[in-house]
Amino acid sequence: MKKMTAIGALAGAVAMLMAGTAYAKTLKLNHNNPEDHPVHKSMEFMGERVEELTNGEIKIRVYANAQLGTQRESMELVQNGQLDMARSNASELEAFEESYSALNLPYIFKGEEHLFDVLLGEIGDEILMASKDKGFIGLTYYTEGARSFYANKPIKTPADLNGMKIRVQPSPSAIRMVELLGGNPTPISWGELYSALQQGVVDGAENNPTALTTARHGEVAKHFSVDEHTMIPSVVVISTKVWDELTEEQQKALKQAATESAERHRVEWNKASDAAIEQAKSELNVEIHEVDKAAFAEAVAPMHEETAAKSEKIADLIKRIKAAGE
């Protein structure tokens, strides 16, 4: 009898243990940056926080260097529910959800405070949720500072871009921007860009300062021209299918962890960006050039009306984003 009681107690303990871990899940998150990149570190932090907040029910495993596919491939896998999470950015996401195109307009943000007021407010949340019926939702934004042009010659005015092949992301906004500035937009995947610059497949590219160091582009492009044409954030997305499988409490915990990581990332990003400029100058001999931003802004101004004309939803977002900066 005692033996049966002991066996019953053991069975009950095992059942309780299994019940406590029944919802344990490890989410796979893919991105295309190296492990020393600020974005990777921020997503690792997000994983640590959601594990704490859910008592181990939800974990995140972050895959760097596009181990599970390119940025574009990752988004398609997330949409289909074959990959849990991915990091993309607003530029590439506009091909999946038009709302993101409002964030990609050159010179729409007056500065960092304006950017964060939009991203962490009602407008930002609206855009994150706009794609729920398209297979994914956004969890949060990570700032990646302002994007500028870099090449093997200074680009101080739009005229300097005439005829230059400039690598862009596969984004209608990025392509149109370079066209208006007189360049030849050339979509190339991030992983192929170093060799494309090295071999002259493209003459230049545009990105934030860390591209010079973490991606080593400063080895093959010696001039960084600070025109700061766009402030395009990264976006951490999750498959709608995976999101709907989580409990309401788990969803709240994941959203909280994502938001906390975004706030942390803002501070760490500014440190990394400043350090990248100094490292690019001292170790890679990259020359940093200040430019006449007004000339660039004037050249791409038509994009604002062109983009607003695409739909009433986009026009409303653009209007509200601009009003937030007044």
CATH of the domain at 160: 3.40.190.170
199 and 237 fall within a common domain: no
pLDDT of residue 48: 98
211 and 65 fall within a common domain: no
Q: Are 159 and 182 spatial neighbours (Cβ–Cβ below 8 Å)? A: yes
Residue range of the domain that includes 266: 19-145+233-274
309, part of any domain: yes
- 10-residue stretch averages of pLDDT, the chain, 326 residues long: 48 45 82 93 98 98 96 96 97 95 96 94 97 98 95 97 95 95 96 96 97 96 97 97 97 98 95 96 98 96 96 97 95
158 and 65 fall within a common domain: no
220 and 86 fall within a common domain: no
192 and 292 fall within a common domain: yes
103 and 239 fall within a common domain: yes
pLDDT of residue 16: 43
105 and 26 fall within a common domain: yes
11, part of any domain: no
161, part of any domain: yes
85 and 115 fall within a common domain: yes
133 and 246 fall within a common domain: yes
183, part of any domain: yes
252 and 103 fall within a common domain: yes
13, part of any domain: no
250 and 139 fall within a common domain: yes
Count up the domains in the chain and report the number.
2
Q: What is the pTM of this model?
A: 0.86
Q: Which residues does 321 contact at the CB level (< 8 Å), separation at least 6?
A: 102, 103, 108, 109, 118, 123
